[in-house]
């Protein structure tokens, strides 16, 4: 759903750590009468004049959370909230300035505007989002300021300089790590411009010594927004590398897919808005990788896995391309039945924000059931991030879902399944989402699909998933338990009181694939 999530005293989401807290909609830092008016004058440092685009979206962050840079705190999962203000702007020239104040009419996640900031101390940062091909705020090429700690105790003007640039993505240098990049003809044709795909490859420890040996291959799908560079985390893990370079390690090639897409995570599947990512994976990336490295080049020895978003995608790839993969190891997948789209039934409910009793639905909770934030507030964070002033272009979770599941609208953007402000469900768009409802797809195609899925499905889910993903997995499990001709032998494990992705690890999945290989080769 939102990437791997480590629960100790903090959430870890897409690489950003922040303390768990209730919704920021209720976060009144001080009495609203104790406020100050602010004005921010923003310019670009001379060394970056040539790197600046004239059009973009300006972001102002005011944060009470000092665990990371404010520009990295894009989700409201903190007891010390990060308030985001944003608006599309045009710089007149490289030497001009942008002024942000009450008159700027900024979109905001805060319960106040720049005319009434609650007094106190804040970490402040500004970012200029100028890379139109990458929806993420922190995409390479965007400009941003240093973090400044400001004390707001009266009306003031702050002078801010955009002095830094988000660097280009780079891959760790290691003998067992390789990079694959190629131009996708399918996606280039769809987008009418060159479109390149990258992946990283982690080789087994015997690869260089055994020049005649061929290897099984694993295609790992990231948690939300994960890049192919995530292999670096394993290379920098002393425990993992000690195991990986030992005799105990399975001799399997791992390919780390890149999730980058035009609207956020591309979900590795074809869609009306993203283009043919699924076909590109199957007919372009896989042949390219398997021709370059000594794989067994056979579906019998090809597997997919992932957690959260990667859990959903790996299962979907096995279902939509049953002859391409010989096993999916899916952990904490996003909702695989849209009658349980987290806590909403998109086919019957009228609204995703409010339940039938008129109460706001939470979108995240602790493993003890304590709500962290409502879906309505979460969507407002995505609305502010979107260049369209709504979640469809935020580059976030619901932007990606909408791009994948929805038809293209008359404005050229994905059609929203629910209203960004009210949460009202569009019944016609919800009907179109059925194409990607994995439980419904499996039901409708079981006579043909069932025989091809035997021995190929493993799903793990925590029964206190932080994002309410377990009800959909329960429904999928109940369906599979009742199948006939054939009777499914899928393994779906539920762990009581376990949270999102708490069991997943690369080592565990590699060992699971090794067990599967031993059964295949008997």
**Mean per-residue pLDDT, 115-131:** 93
DSSP E strands: which ranges in 317-406?
Answer: 328-331, 362-365, 371-374
pLDDT band at 411 (very low <50, low <70, confident <90, very high): very high
pLDDT (tens digit per residue) in 234-293: 999 999 999 999 999 999 999 999 999 999 999 999 999 999 999 999 999 999 999 999
* pLDDT > 80? residue 6: no
pLDDT (tens digit per residue) in 136-162: 889 999 999 999 999 988 888 999 999
**Mean per-residue pLDDT, 18-41:** 57
Average pLDDT, the chain: 92
Under 8 Å between Cβ of 325 and 303: yes
* pLDDT > 60? residue 34: yes
* pLDDT > 70? residue 131: yes
pLDDT band at 20 (very low <50, low <70, confident <90, very high): very low
Q: What percent of the chain has pLDDT over 70?
A: 93
pLDDT band at 492 (very low <50, low <70, confident <90, very high): very high
- CA-closest candidate to residue 374, choices 112, 109, 14: 109
- 461 φ/ψ angles, rounded to the nearest 5 degrees: -145, 135
* pLDDT > 80? residue 22: no
* pLDDT > 90? residue 61: yes
* pLDDT > 60? residue 33: no
pLDDT band at 516 (very low <50, low <70, confident <90, very high): very high
297: its two tokens: 């080049």
The CATH T-level fold of domain 18-165 is Immunoglobulin-like (2.60.40)
The DSSP bridge partners found for residue 88 are 57
Phi-psi region of 139 (alpha: psi -120 to 50; beta: other; left: phi over 0): beta
Sign of CA dihedral 324, 327, 331, 336: positive
Q: What is the pLDDT of residue 133?
A: 77
* Beta-strand pair 302-307/328-331: parallel
* pLDDT > 70? residue 117: yes
Q: Where in the chain is the domain with CATH 2.60.40?
A: 18-165
* pLDDT > 60? residue 28: no
> Which CATH number describes the domain made up of 177-337+437-520?
3.40.50.1820
* pLDDT > 60? residue 29: no
Under 8 Å between Cβ of 147 and 69: yes
* pLDDT > 50? residue 17: no
* pLDDT > 70? residue 466: yes
- What's the gap between Cα 411 and its chain centre? 24
* pLDDT > 70? residue 10: no
**Mean per-residue pLDDT, 400-410:** 98
What is the rounded distance in angstroms from the CA atom of residue 224 to the CA atom of residue 55? Answer: 28
Under 8 Å between Cβ of 261 and 299: no
- CA-closest candidate to residue 391, choices 140, 92, 74, 173: 74
pLDDT band at 7 (very low <50, low <70, confident <90, very high): very low
Q: Where in the chain is the domain with CATH 3.40.50.1820?
A: 177-337+437-520
**Mean per-residue pLDDT, 299-303:** 98
**Mean per-residue pLDDT, 318-343:** 98
pTM of the model: 0.92
Q: What is the pLDDT of residue 2?
A: 52
Angle at 323 between CA 321 and CA 328, to 5 degrees: 65
**Mean per-residue pLDDT, 41-49:** 95
- 221 φ/ψ angles, rounded to the nearest 5 degrees: -105, 135
Q: What is the pLDDT of residue 93?
A: 80
pLDDT (tens digit per residue) in 156-167: 899 999 999 999
**Mean per-residue pLDDT, 352-372:** 97
Please, what's the largest Cα pairwise distance for the chain? 76
| Lowest-confidence pick of 10-14, 152-156, 224-228, 261-265 | 10-14
pLDDT (tens digit per residue) in 193-217: 999 999 999 999 999 998 999 999 9
Q: What is the pLDDT of residue 345?
A: 98
Q: What percent of the chain has pLDDT over 90?
A: 85
* pLDDT > 60? residue 23: no
506: its two tokens: 């690369």
What is the rounded distance in angstroms from the CA atom of residue 274 to the CA atom of residue 406? Answer: 10
- 127 φ/ψ angles, rounded to the nearest 5 degrees: -135, 140
- 231 φ/ψ angles, rounded to the nearest 5 degrees: -60, -25
Q: Do you find a cis peptide bond into 56, omega within 30 degrees of 0?
A: no
Under 8 Å between Cβ of 333 and 408: no
Q: What is the pLDDT of residue 290?
A: 98
Q: What is the pLDDT of residue 349?
A: 98
Q: What is the pLDDT of residue 77?
A: 65
* pLDDT > 80? residue 78: no
The DSSP bridge partners found for residue 62 are 83, 124
Under 8 Å between Cβ of 330 and 460: yes
Q: What is the pLDDT of residue 30?
A: 41
Residue with structure tokens 């329960």? 474
* pLDDT > 50? residue 26: no
- CA-closest candidate to residue 118, choices 149, 83, 86: 83
Under 8 Å between Cβ of 158 and 145: no
């Amino acid at each position: 759903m939102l990437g791997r999530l480590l629960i100790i005293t903090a959430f870890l989401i897409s690489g950003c750590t922040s303390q768990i807290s209730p919704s920021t909609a209720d976060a009144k830092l001080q009495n609203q009468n104790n406020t100050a008016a602010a004005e921010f004058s923003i310019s670009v440092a001379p060394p970056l004049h040539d790197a600046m685009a004239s059009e973009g979206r300006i972001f102002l962050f005011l944060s009470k959370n000092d665990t990371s840079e404010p520009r990295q705190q894009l989700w409201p999962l903190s007891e010390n909230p990060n308030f985001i203000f944003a608006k599309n702007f045009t710089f007149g020239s490289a030497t001009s300035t942008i002024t942000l104040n009450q008159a700027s009419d900024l979109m905001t996640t805060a319960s106040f505007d720049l005319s009434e900031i609650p007094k106190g101390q804040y970490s402040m940062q500004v970012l200029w989002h100028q890379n139109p091909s990458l929806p993420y705020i922190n995409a390479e090429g965007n400009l941003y300021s240093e973090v400044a700690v400001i004390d707001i105790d009266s009306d003031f003007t702050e002078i801010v300089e955009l002095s830094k640039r988000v660097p280009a993505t780079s891959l760790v240098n290691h003998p067992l790590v390789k990079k694959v990049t190629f131009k996708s003809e399918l996606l280039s044709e769809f987008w009418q411009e060159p479109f390149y795909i990258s992946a990283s490859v982690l080789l087994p420890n015997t690869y260089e010594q055994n020049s005649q040996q061929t290897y099984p291959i694993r295609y790992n799908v990231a948690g939300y927004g994960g890049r192919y560079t995530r292999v670096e985390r394993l290379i920098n893990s002393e425990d993992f590398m000690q195991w990986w370079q030992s005799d105990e390690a399975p001799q399997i090639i791992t390919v780390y897919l890149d999730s980058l897409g035009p609207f956020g995570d591309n979900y590795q599947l074809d869609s009306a808005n993203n283009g043919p990512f699924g076909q590109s994976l199957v007919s372009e990336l896989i042949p390219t990788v398997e021709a370059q490295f000594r794989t067994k080049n056979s579906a019998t020895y090809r597997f997919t896995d992932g957690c959260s978003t990667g859990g959903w995608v790996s299962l979907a790839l096995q279902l939509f391309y049953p002859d391409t993969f010989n096993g999916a190891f899916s952990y904490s997948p996003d909702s695989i039945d849209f009658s349980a789209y987290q806590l909403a039934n998109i086919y019957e409910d009228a609204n995703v924000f409010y339940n039938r009793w008129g109460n706001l639905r939470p979108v995240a909770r602790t493993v003890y059931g304590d709500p962290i934030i409502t879906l309505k507030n979460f969507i407002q964070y995505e609305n502010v991030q979107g260049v369209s002033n709504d979640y469809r272009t935020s580059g976030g979770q619901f932007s990606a879902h909408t791009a994948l599941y929805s038809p293209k609208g008359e404005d050229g953007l994905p059609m929203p399944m629910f209203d960004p402000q009210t949460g009202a469900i569009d019944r016609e768009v919800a009907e179109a989402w059925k194409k990607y409802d994995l439980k419904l797809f499996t039901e409708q195609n079981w006579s043909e699909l069932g025989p091809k899925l035997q021995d190929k499905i493993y799903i793990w889910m925590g029964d206190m998933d932080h994002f309410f993903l377990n009800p959909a997995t329960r429904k999928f499990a109940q369906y599979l338990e009742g199948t006939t001709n054939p009777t499914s032998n899928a393994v779906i494990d539920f762990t009581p009181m376990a949270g999102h992705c708490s069991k997943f690890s690369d080592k565990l999945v590699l060992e699971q694939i090794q067990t599967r290989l031993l059964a295949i080769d008997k």
